[in-house]
Structure 1
Amino acid sequence: MQSEKGVLVAIPLSQIDSQSALASWLLGWFAGATDEEKEAMIHSVYGLWLARNEARDGKKIASPHEITESVWEHMSEWRSLHAPKVRVPVPKIAEKWKPPDEGWLKINSDGATSKHGNSAGGGAVIRDHEGTFRGGFCQYFPHVADPEAAEILACRRAIKVALDRNVQKVYLELDSQAVVQMIKQKERNLSPVGPWVQEIKAMPNSVEEFSVSWVQRYANVAAHKLARIGVGE
């Protein structure tokens, strides 16, 4: 192995004439061997064992070169199967805010609760197809501890602000999938926040077109910052 493949091979310092002496030498050698040396030794012993078995079955024992090649193939296969897998990190593409179609106003709304969990705040930004600021707010919601309730209250206030500007086409974007599903749900909402949700569902009746969708937090940063200001943080 050393002459043909450049792999270091363990060689006893003196002649070994018994199995117990061989076992003692191997244990001592293993204690100080590197992982690569241990790997070569194990595969070499396995290769010799296979060659001996074939000889016992009546076949001609393989030459040292053939045994070396067989051991090297086993080592290469083992290394390929047990090589550490390199994980290539998948870059996260941060979603950016996108303007609505011409004639529409887009509302980005968000809610936030305080660090102590005893109050909340809401914020929203309203922009047109050119990204021009058309309105917004930040508001404090006392005695509101539920993040979902904060989202809904902020959403309700945001739509009211937009409707006060006689908007006919409203595009609402939220970073809460749960709230988006509540607004889209046709059935009556019977949860504790149900009355607010039903009020939001009725608001679009006064406009020509209304759309609501979920968006990543990256595209809702402005509204989130206003919500944090509303809660006083």
Structure 2
Amino acid sequence: MQFIDRFIADLGQEKPRPASPSCIPHRSLAWIAPPAGVVKINVDAALSKNDLKASAAANVRDENGRFLGVLALVLRGISDPEVMESIACREGMSLALDIQVANFRLARDNQNVVKNILQGSRGVYGQIVQEINARRSAFASVEFVHEKRDSNVDAHNIARSAIYNVLFFWIN
């Protein structure tokens, strides 16, 4: 638990406290809350041009901004940003399955990837888009949205730091 406290503190969050209306964690004013009854999964990707490493990150919060989970994946040999952005969307959906979320909004800052997922594109990352769309049936409701980078700060910071730091932890 000590690592999670430090990790959340690095993101600029308060130390986790028992959930109650008076103990909602401080959130950036730029973060956009989802509708009631829906959780928000912010995803992002980052690439290291020097090492040919790429990372995908997902950060899950409820409509009140309470932290529910995080995921970081680091891969070697991927140099196309949109491929990694689509992988981040897929991994966000995997995290939703892992924490048993039925209704979620998946937000990212790459509008082209969102458009390709919604249209079922068969481009360079068409196989990943097909997998994402096939997984939608596992959930009651899934919404893919584009949001500006300033509302996606946590996922961006996790993705950037994961390229250079190995993060291993479990959330109960």
Q: Look up the equivalent residue of 2:87 and give its one-letter code.
A: L
Tell me if structure 2 keeps the 8 A contact 1:141–1:150. no
Tell me if structure 2 keeps the 8 A contact 1:106–1:170. yes
Query: Bigger radius of gyration, 1 or 2?
Result: 1
Q: TM-score, normalised by structure 2?
A: 0.75
Residue 121 of structure 2 is aligned to residue 204 of structure 1: no
Q: What secondary structure sits across from 1:151 in the alignment?
A: helix
Tell me if structure 2 keeps the 8 A contact 1:168–1:209. yes
Give the number of the structure with larger relative contact order, counting CA–CA contacts within 8 Å between residues 6 or more apart.
2
**Displacement, 1:117?**
6.3
Q: Of the candidates 104, 118, 127, which is equivalent to residue 195 of structure 1?
A: 127
Tell me if structure 2 keeps the 8 A contact 1:168–1:208. yes
Residue 92 of structure 2 is aligned to residue 163 of structure 1: no
Q: Of the candidates 60, 80, 87, which is equivalent to residue 146 of structure 1?
A: 80
**Displacement, 1:138?**
1.5
For 2:112, the equivalent position in structure 1 comes to 178
Distance in 1 (alpha carbons) for counterparts of 2:77 and 2:124: 15
- Segments of 5+ residues of structure 2 without an aligned counterpart are 1-28, 166-172
Residue 149 of structure 2 is aligned to residue 217 of structure 1: yes
Distance in 2 (alpha carbons) for counterparts of 1:190 and 1:208: 25
**Displacement, 1:206?**
1.2
Number of positions where the alignment pairs a residue of Structure 1 with one of Structure 2: 138
Q: Of the candidates 30, 39, 43, which is equivalent to residue 105 of structure 1?
A: 39
Q: Of the candidates 46, 56, 60, which is equivalent to residue 122 of structure 1?
A: 56
Percent identity reads 35
Distance in 2 (alpha carbons) for counterparts of 1:145 and 1:108: 22
Q: Look up the equivalent residue of 2:78 and give its one-letter code.
A: V
RMSD: 1.7
- Segments of 5+ residues of structure 1 without an aligned counterpart are 1-94
Distance in 1 (alpha carbons) for counterparts of 2:49 and 2:156: 15
Q: What secondary structure sits across from 1:122 in the alignment?
A: strand
What are the residue-to-residue correspondences of 1:21-36 with 2, within 5 Å? Answer: none
Q: What secondary structure sits across from 2:152 in the alignment?
A: helix
Q: TM-score, normalised by structure 1?
A: 0.56
Distance in 2 (alpha carbons) for counterparts of 1:169 and 1:190: 26
